Amino acid sequence: MLKSHDLLDVIRIGRTAMECGQVDELRREVVGLLRDAFRVEKINFFLARQYPSPRLDLEHVISLGLDKKYLTLFGQRYYKTDPFFKTFDSPKTVVTTGNVIPFEDLIKSEYYNDFLEPQSIHYQMTIYLRSGGKLLGTLAMFRSKHEKDFSLHENAKGKLLASQLAGALEKSIYIDKVNKSKEVINSICPDLPYKGLIVLDESLEPVYINEEARKTIPSLTEARELWEDSLFPLPKELYIQCKQLTERSKQRADASTGGKARILDKNTGQTVSTNLRLINYSRDSGLYLICMNQNDSGALLANHLKQFGLTRRELEVTVLVCEGFKNSEIGEKLFISEYTVENHLRSIYEKLGVKNRTSLAYKVMYLTGQK
């Protein structure tokens, strides 16, 4: 059972962590406080990276009492043989050496004899910081064989700390992303004639949405489309573009990768032009920058074609035909079959008194004063 001083330690560490505004500030503060709370002299604090795939960031560790040479060796080689790496997917929040591997097996391993023993490391306790099932980081504390192993009492203390530190770390990660997104916006977008602006993190969760984009997005999505683990309703075209940018970024050394997409606003019939850019602001992290700008052609068509009694879907098809899209492309954009597109076109031709898509385009140009 935890004693009053243990609870005070947990409260003090949790409160300090929540007051930190930046991730590295939090890690440095927590490492120092854990040294006193658990009476250890060796600690490391790794962050987990979700982009381009979930893993630990082995290059940017905050540590205490550990030789940088061995930290480098760990990232280059020994992490592959670290028995604790097999527990990342475990639901446990605190794991000690005895939970992972019998000591008699550990001391026979190359990992122990070539890596741990030269650093006088024998016992280890790792705290996994998770939020919503997603690993945010790991805290590992070490003791020599001349010291006592981590007790059940300390294990319970670590579990109590895990949830508080995970919440504080998640908050600091979010603040860092927001600050970074503001830097990106200020450096890239001040002169862009956009109406809507969205910045998504590597998990396609929003870190910034301006008011215009907030108003526009709902009319670009059907039934609040949610993709994979994202909680943000992203239009399918943008989701696909973001995934394609990620793949292209993996294959290229460029700091940023861009793309474009056009999406119909189902409420107004306007075409929303979007410019996307993936900005890799560090080796393992990126932001998706989406600038949205509504074309006036859809609104003009909606006004000029009212007299012909076109349905909303027929108006959408007309807009895309006039923008030069093929039937197959129109079907993909509207999530309907090519056969359905052809049926809509036959109805449109009849209502407007034209025979084909060329004459349809000319008539639309005439009605909107473009010819």
Encoded tokens for 334 = 């509207």
Residue 326 has a pLDDT of 87
Q: 3-state class of 296 per DSSP?
A: coil
* Backbone phi, psi, residue 103, to 5°: -60, -35
Residue 332 has pLDDT above 90, yes or no: no
* Backbone phi, psi, residue 36, to 5°: -80, -40
Residue 310 has a pLDDT of 87
Q: 3-state class of 41 per DSSP?
A: coil
Q: Tell me how long the chain is.
A: 371
Confirm if 299 and 345 have CB atoms less than 8 A apart: no
Tens digits of per-residue pLDDT, 67-116? 888 888 888 888 888 888 777 777 889 999 989 899 999 999 999 999 99
Residue 229 has a pLDDT of 47
Tens digits of per-residue pLDDT, 233-253? 777 777 777 877 777 766 654
To the nearest whole percent, how much of the chain has pLDDT over 90?
A: 30
Beta-sheet strands, E only, within the chain: 42-49, 55-56, 62-64, 94-96, 123-131, 134-143, 196-200, 206-209, 256-264, 271-282, 285-294
CA angle, 252 as apex, 248 and 254 as ends, to 5°? 105
What distance in Å separates the CA atoms of residue 130 and residue 136, rounded to the nearest whole number? 5
Rounded alpha-carbon distances, angstroms, from residue 127 to 20, 48, 152, 165, 258: 19, 13, 14, 10, 39
Tell me the pLDDT band of 182, cut-offs 50, 70 and 90.
Answer: low
Encoded tokens for 232 = 């943000």
Tens digits of per-residue pLDDT, 115-157? 999 999 999 999 999 888 788 999 999 999 899 999 998 999 9
Q: CATH says 192-295 is which class?
A: alpha beta
**Which residue from 343, 296, 295, 292 is spatially nearest to 317, judged by alpha carbons?**
343
Tell me the pLDDT band of 35, cut-offs 50, 70 and 90.
Answer: very high
Alpha helices, DSSP H, located in 77-118:
97-100, 103-106, 110-111
Confirm if 58 and 75 have CB atoms less than 8 A apart: yes
To the nearest whole percent, how much of the chain has pLDDT over 70?
A: 78
Predicted structure pTM score: 0.57
Residue 226 has a pLDDT of 46
Tens digits of per-residue pLDDT, 272-317? 777 787 776 555 567 788 887 755 555 556 667 778 888 878 888 8
Alpha helices, DSSP H, located in 224-310:
236-251, 297-304
Residue 218 has pLDDT above 80, yes or no: no
Which CATH architecture group holds 298-367? Orthogonal Bundle (1.10)
Compute CA 184 distance to the chain's CA centroid, rounded to the nearest angstrom. 16
Write out the H or E segment, with its range, that includes residue 174: helix 152-188
Confirm if 166 and 13 have CB atoms less than 8 A apart: no
Q: Do domains 4-176 and 192-295 have the same CATH topology?
A: yes
Of the candidate ranges 55-59, 158-162, 252-256, 293-297, the one whose mean pLDDT is the lowest:
252-256
CATH code 3.30.450.80 for 4-176: yes
Encoded tokens for 333 = 């954009």
The residue-averaged pLDDT of 25-47 equals 93
- So where are the chain's domains? 4-176, 192-295, 298-367
Tell me the pLDDT band of 227, cut-offs 50, 70 and 90.
Answer: very low
369: left (phi over 0), alpha (psi -120 to 50) or beta: left
Residue 321 has pLDDT above 60, yes or no: yes
Largest CA distance in the chain: 93
Residue 352 or residue 59, greater confidence: 352
Residue 231 has a pLDDT of 53
Of the candidate ranges 44-53, 62-71, 152-161, the one whose mean pLDDT is the lowest:
44-53
Residue 77 has a pLDDT of 85
Question: Other CB atoms closer than 10 Å to residue 243's CB: what's the count?
Answer: 13
Tell me the pLDDT band of 53, cut-offs 50, 70 and 90.
Answer: low
